[in-house]
Each structure stands twice: as structure tokens, then as C-alpha cells.
Amino acid sequence: MKNIAVVGAGYVGVVTAASLANMGHYVVCIDKEESVISKWREGTAPYAEPRLQQLLEHNKLEGRLTFTSHYAWGVRNMDVVFLTSDSFGAKGEAVDLAHVQRLASNIAEHLIRDVVVVNRSAVPIGTNVALQRFLTNYNKGNVVVDVVYNPSFPADLKGVEQMYQGNRIVLGGNNREALLFVEELYRRMKLSILKTDFSSAELIKYASDTFTTLNNQVLQEILLLCEQVGANKDDVVIGIHRSMHSISL
């Protein structure tokens, strides 16, 4: 089991932290906002997320999940640091890259040992190469940092369900050892793991989100058509789902 820091106590961060702790890892979730950390310490999940409350209570009780606003304490002696930022704001705005950069700076400032940084934020293609360069240059070679991109796909399933019941885990990076290291973290999930390069992983994330959005829009139109022609909505949805899964390249 590994010592893991998860930076960012938003939706993606806390779901990631609770799920990793439930796999047996020791996890510290970090956010500079003490008010945010205080709410999580109280143990009440502000999100209507299936199983999240249960995972929080269980893993805090077992001593595998803690919350802090102190980066120096949370980051220094970790084997791996997850960088998380919620992909979209309340009005659907794109991820705030300045916020991602601030999180990266906070991490780099307190690193004292070699570490793998896993980025789970939705970012434009090319960002993870830049993140790797930034973290490497920040410490001037005193600490070896390897970045792995591990996008979340919350549009497919709820966050906790995705971690345990999703159909794939995508890992992107340029260092084979780092990819294998992160793959091992997820071994207990028993999900299909695709290891690829940064650009491919970034494009998989954006393509998946785009397909999901388009599918939902088309589905709403089809459901309206079902009402107009008297078709069985459930049967139509099942039939479409099976047709989509039969498509191959």
C-alpha cells in the first residue's frame, strides 16, 4: 500500500481520495481553504454521490483518510501526489488552468523526494507535457518528478461508480516506470487499464466527453419521438445501447 496525497478537495478530489483509501492506501486530501477541509472533517458529503458518505466514514474510522490545509505536511513524504481540479463550474465553464497551475506550484514548493504526480484534471492537449516541464524545472533536478495523466470520466457514471464499475482506466505519460507504478495503484479495481502517451490520453478524454454530450442530445430527441409515435422508451434505449456497443473501428 502507498502513501498518497490528493490535492484539491472538490468533487473529483474527494471521490478520488475516498476511493483510493478504500483500496487500502493511506491518503491525505489537501486543500488550502480551511473552511472546505473543515466540512470534510465533519464527515458530511455535500454531493449527492452514491456510496461517498459510506466511504468517507469507513476510511476515516480506519485511519486511512485524513484532510488538511497544510501542503508542507500533506505532500512532503508521499509516494504519489494526485492533482485534481473539478472539470466544470456551475455554469459549465471550462476548467480554470490558472487554478491547475497554482496547485502545481503548491506541490512543487514542498517536494523533498522523488515522486509521481498524477493529473486528474481536464486540461487541453499539451498541458501535461508543460506540467512535466514545469515540475522538473521548478526543483532544478533536485527531485525527480514523473507526471502521469489519469483523466476522470464522470459523464459515464457517478464518480464512485466510475472508480469501481467503469469500463476503463486511462493512463498517459512518457515514462514507462511511472505508468506501471500508477497501474499498480489501481490493481484492485480489476478494470481494463489503457497505458498510452500524453496526447492520446488527453484526446481520449475530450473525445469521450464530446461523444457523451452528443449522445445525450440525440437521446433526448429520440425520447420525444418515442412519445409522438407511441414507441416503448425503455426498449428503444436498450436497443440503441446495444447497437452502440456493437460498433467497432
Instruction: Kindly report the CATH number assigned to the domain that includes residue 33.
Output: 3.40.50.720
* 29 & 78 share domain: yes
State the pLDDT at residue 89: 40
Same domain, 166 and 220: no
pLDDT at 165 over 70: no
Q: How far is CA 66 from CA 4, 62, 107, in A?
A: 11, 10, 18
Q: Which residue type does 84 have?
A: T
Q: Cell digits for 72?
A: 508542507
| Statement to judge: residues 233 and 211 lie in one domain | yes
Summarize pLDDT for 166-177 with one digit per residue, the tens: 567 999 999 999
pTM, entire model: 0.82
Strand partners, 28: 5, 66
- Mean pLDDT over the full length of the chain: 83
Residues 66, 172, single domain; the answer is yes
DSSP string, 95-146: P-HHHHHHHHHHHHHH--S-EEEEE-S---TTHHHHHHHHHHHHTTTSS-EE
Over residues 186-213, the pLDDT tens digits come to: 888 878 899 999 999 999 988 888 887 7
> Looking at this protein, which amino acid is placed at residue 192?
S
Question: Do residues 131 and 81 share a domain?
Answer: yes
**Span 221-241, pLDDT tens digits:** 998 999 999 999 888 888 876
Residues 67 and 173 both lie in one domain: yes
Assess whether 99 and 181 both reside in one domain.
yes
In this structure, the answer to whether residues 150 and 169 fall within a common structural domain is yes
- pLDDT tens digits for range 21-33: 999 999 999 988 8
9 and 87 co-located in one domain: yes
Q: Is the dihedral of CA 163, 169, 172, 173 positive or negative?
A: positive
Grid cell in block for residue 106: 503548491
Tell me, what amino acid is at 178?
Answer: A
| Total count of domains within the chain | 2
Are 136 and 172 within one domain? yes
- 87 & 166 share domain: yes
- Residue after which a domain boundary falls, among 199, 215, 233: 199
* Residue 232, domain extent: 207-245
Q: Are residues 153 and 215 in the same domain?
A: no
Say whether 25 sits in a helix, a strand or coil.
coil
